[in-house]
Copies of this chain bind each other. A is one copy, B any other.
């Protein structure tokens, strides 16, 4: 059995954040499929035994389960000594961007993708609300990346892995990605890191055939 087991579904960018970190940190890990689309994370058994928050990813290590992608990334960086920032100032900035990602950047975009790109919901006040908020968050990140290669400092960190969670998925959302050229360039820089793989590369067995 691998040292780390990631309970995940390749459809989830929040899972991909951790899968990408495990890969780029060079950890010994394997994915374990959780059928998110069939509602597995929202059942009482999952909530009671695995994660009361009703979410994946869940990282299993040394007999213990850890949840919430941002908390897992922070813990993994401290444990491996990789991608966690070089000093207290960088660690502050990393946490700030991971919180912003959970609060706005991933949150609005991922929910929009779920409604429009996966459930094929017709546009309504909720999808327009999400699209406006997602575009605003994209604008903030695009401006930030206009003058630097990665979110914090001059090297990739777990902040990049967190915000990159959903940028390699291709479902329609109504967000024009070309309007955010610096995010597109940053996406390619992360893609060029040694060992990089996309969601289905890293979590192949987690997608039912």
Contact = CB atoms under 8 A, between A and B. Distances in A.
A70 B92 contact: no
Interface string A99-121: 11011000100000000000000
A157 to B, nearest CB: 14
Interface stretch (A27-35, A125-133, A178-186, A199-207): A125-133
Given A68-B99, A128-B126, A92 B107 contact: no
A196 B5 CA distance: 43
Contacts of A100: 53, 68
A12 interface: no
A66 B75 CA distance: 22
B96 A68 contact: yes
Contact of A125 (B107, B125, B144): B125
A98 B144 CA distance: 24
Interface of A: 52-54, 66-68, 70-71, 74-75, 92, 95-96, 98-100, 102-103, 107, 124-129, 140, 143-144
